[in-house]
Amino acid sequence: MIGIIDYGAGNLHSVVKAITQLGYQIKLITKPSDHDDLIDKLILPGVGNAKVAMNVLNETGLSDYLRTEVAKGTPLLGICLGMQLLLETSEEGDVPCLGFLPGTVPLFGEEAEKVPHMGWNQVKDVQNHFLFQDIPESTDFYFVHSYYAEPRMEQHVIGVTNYGPDFACAIGNKQVMGVQFHPEKSGKYGIQLLDNYCKQGVRQHA
């Protein structure tokens, strides 16, 4: 079962639809008491403002819930804003984030072609990470964002995209990971990425 964190994120329903169509059971989690012990993995979607999002996560107890689940070893995938919230701080509102990965989230600078970065752009898998299994190199994915992830440790950069300079468009490790682009809006290879995440190491329940 895939637990999807519901905190008012704009892309929630698109993510739910994509995961459901892949054949996985889902559970929406709006508060910690919604947790189900059958949940194998968690997804943190996100569209909007980092400060507003963290306020909701903190006020509902979902930030502590996520920290507890990650400490237990539950995998977590952040999407777009959800990926940015995995880092320590965001310049968007100068807000402390979840802190699962060391690093910050700055605003694109003058070297970027245009802000926001919106539309299709190529993603290069730099780690042969399981998220990109069966996805061709330099596949285009769909982006909409003005801030970007800047992990402090190079080993946490999973994928890169060029937009003026290169930036980390996929970050994480084998348990906590995130993508800046929207896989649920990126056609068959976006759906493949979601399937790669959901099927990796899923427990078989009686």
Q: Which residues are designated catalytic? A: 80, 182, 184
Only one residue has tokens 């084998």, namely 174
Type of residue at 126: V
Q: Tell me the C-alpha distance between 56 and 50, whole Å.
A: 10
Dihedral, CA of residue 89, residue 86, residue 113 and residue 189, to nearest 10: 180
Beta pairing, strands 76-79 & 176-179? parallel
Task: Give the helix, strand, coil percentages of the chain, each rounded to 5.
Answer: 30, 30, 40
Beta pairing, strands 157-162 & 41-44? unpaired
| DSSP label of 107 | B
**What token pair was written down for 46?**
């996100």
**What token pair was written down for 123?**
């993603």
The H or E element that residue 60 is part of is helix 50-60
